[in-house]
């Protein structure tokens, strides 16, 4: 993301913070978001709001999409 996109994402999260529930999925852990967003200060502010009063669920293991990929294409 460029700085403008990261700032808009922060504004979006900040607007929702404390007003509604947010479900967010990512293939990157919070430790990798600084590189993704390109600005450590914005990343910290976003993660602060996202992780406050949150439940983090980590799914580890094989991807279900890849696991069942062959069976999906065999039925076509």
Task: Quote the mean pLDDT of the chain.
Answer: 86
Q: What is the pLDDT of residue 57?
A: 85
For residue 45, name the pLDDT band (cuts at 50, 70, 90). very high
Q: What is the pLDDT of residue 47?
A: 94
Looking at per-residue pLDDT, the higher value among 71 and 8 belongs to 8
For residue 73, name the pLDDT band (cuts at 50, 70, 90). low
Write out the CATH class of domain 3-74: alpha beta
Q: With beta carbons less than 8 A apart as the criterion, state whether 46 and 15 touch.
A: no
């Amino acid at each position: 993301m460029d700085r403008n996109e990261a700032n808009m994402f922060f504004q979006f999260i900040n607007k929702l913070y404390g007003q509604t529930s947010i479900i967010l999925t990512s293939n990157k852990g919070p430790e990798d978001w600084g590189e993704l967003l390109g600005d450590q200060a914005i990343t910290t502010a976003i993660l602060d709001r996202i992780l406050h009063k949150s439940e983090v669920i980590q799914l580890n293991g094989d991807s279900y999409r890849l696991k069942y990929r062959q069976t999906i294409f065999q039925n076509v």
